Amino acid sequence: MVTHTLGFAVRRTRPAPHQLSADPLANPRLESGDVIHDFHTHSFLSDGVLSPTELIRRAAVAGYSTIAVTDHAGPGNIEFVLDQLRRDCATASQHWPIVALPGVEITHVPPATIRELARRARRAGAAVVAVHGETVTEPVEPGTNRAAIDCDDVDLLCHPGLLTLEEALRAAARGCFLEVSGRKGHNFANGHVVRTALAAGARLVLNSDGHAPEDLLSERFCGLVLRGAALPESEIQTVLQENAKALRERAQRVWLPATV
């Protein structure tokens, strides 16, 4: 049962209603239109449990319109991860009713290296370059949020924790998207992120940060997370549709699967 704690209990024995069944045939939603857009997920190329292709397949069956597979990356594995994700995303996009985007989440690196790592990721074919932000649950080095926001090659700052108004203003000016997180722990600061982003005029997107099939989003769960973060009702469709489609269009401008 989904309660007021939202995503905090998603891994308990009894699955919550928003969770995707382990059997994809139990969720036969293959043509849902532009409903769910998720720009932050992980496969077994980092700390997820599914192959990229199975992750994309399950997302398609769950009603996703867009998924970015953004495995954790650092100086030693950016090209390795993207070489595989580009191929899997291209094949999935060509055969299933979903836009699958290859990406990385630059994770726990010195802030001074983010600019060069993001540039490398883009050259290696990343459609979405995300940075693992200063979540309140992990020892991310201070300055990571600012370095990501100021980097032209970074599209998305994930779970930015106690984001400052100055950082949010800089994100708004540059067009860096800020994440509202559907993941337990990282979502502790969602209310602060929403309030600060709205005050600055920065664009928000909701992502699952999914590592397993049960982490995938549903339409209902998206609404619960955003309302739980005190996002005004008038802004919900802006986050779920307008902002998400803008990020997808940006990613598609640099992602050319026909050339893979």
Per-chain mean pLDDT for the chain: 89
Which of the pair, 229 or 256, is modelled with greater confidence?
A: 229
The pLDDT value recorded for residue 52 is 98
**Helix, coil or strand: residue 154:** coil
The pLDDT value recorded for residue 4 is 37
Residues constituting the chain = 260
Query: What is the band of 14 on the pLDDT scale with cuts at 50, 70, 90?
Result: very low
**74/121 Cα distance (integer angstroms):** 10
**Tokens in use for 41?**
């997920």
Q: Which of 63-77, 211-225, 243-257 has the lowest mean pLDDT?
A: 243-257
Kindly tell me if the per-residue pLDDT of 252 is higher than 80.
Answer: yes
Query: What is the band of 255 on the pLDDT scale with cuts at 50, 70, 90?
Result: confident
Q: What percent of the chain has pLDDT over 70?
A: 85
Kindly tell me if the per-residue pLDDT of 26 is higher than 60.
Answer: no
Kindly tell me if the per-residue pLDDT of 44 is higher than 90.
Answer: yes
The pLDDT value recorded for residue 260 is 53
Tens digit of each residue's pLDDT (9 = 90 or more) over 131-166:
999 999 999 999 999 999 999 999 999 999 999 999
Kindly tell me if the per-residue pLDDT of 30 is higher than 50.
Answer: no
Kindly tell me if the per-residue pLDDT of 9 is higher than 60.
Answer: no
Tens digit of each residue's pLDDT (9 = 90 or more) over 168-201:
999 999 999 999 999 999 999 999 999 999 999 9
Kindly tell me if the per-residue pLDDT of 12 is higher than 60.
Answer: no
Q: What percent of the chain has pLDDT over 90?
A: 84
Bridge partners, residue 205, by sequence: 179
Average pLDDT over residues 112-128: 98
For the chain, list the domains and their CATH numbers: 36-259 (3.20.20.140)
- Given the structure tokens 């994809």, which residue do they identify? 24
Count the neighbouring beta carbons within 10 Å of the beta carbon of residue 165: 13
Tens digit of each residue's pLDDT (9 = 90 or more) over 63-91:
999 999 999 999 999 999 999 999 999 99
Cβ-proximal residues to 130 (8 Å cutoff; 6+ apart), any chain:
39, 40, 68, 70, 103, 104, 105, 106, 154, 155, 156, 157, 158
